[in-house]
Amino acid sequence: MEIKKNLNVPAAFFYGKVLDSIRHDVRTVTGKSLTEKQLNGFSYDKVFSKDQAAKIIIDELVPNSSYQYRTLSVRNEFVCRYDIQAIDDNHCMVTYKESMTSNGTFQKLNDMFTGILLGFFKKRRFKKMLTMIEESY
């Protein structure tokens, strides 16, 4: 899935919101308050429900430019990437990409089926989140 959207906010503002979200998740799960520099390359284990857990790995964190993380579970590997491009001092273009590699034939079929069903709603929810960030500026 890929979503591109021009936002009426500076690249630094959008990046700051992403950074706040990362720090909140890391602090909630690990109890650690990390600096921006410490987050790049950081990994932690996260429990989603009683039978689902995954390792989150922050692969890339470039100020005002990009953020990429991976979620590794026994079922699949999920990669999310944000690319932030400044258009001018008050506008930026955000490109969000996500991909999933599933483990096993049954899991691949299941993920493909649910991806088709939920993809539309996921895109809509993500665009709404971008609009909410824009409105908070």
pLDDT digit string (tens) for 19-67? Answer: 999 999 999 999 999 999 999 999 999 998 888 899 999 999 999 999 9
What mean pLDDT is predicted for residues 60-84?
96
- Reported pTM: 0.88
Which helix (H) or strand (E) covers residue 87, if one does? strand 76-88
Query: Other C-beta atoms within 10 Å of 4: how many?
Result: 11
Domains of the chain: 2-135 (3.30.530.20)
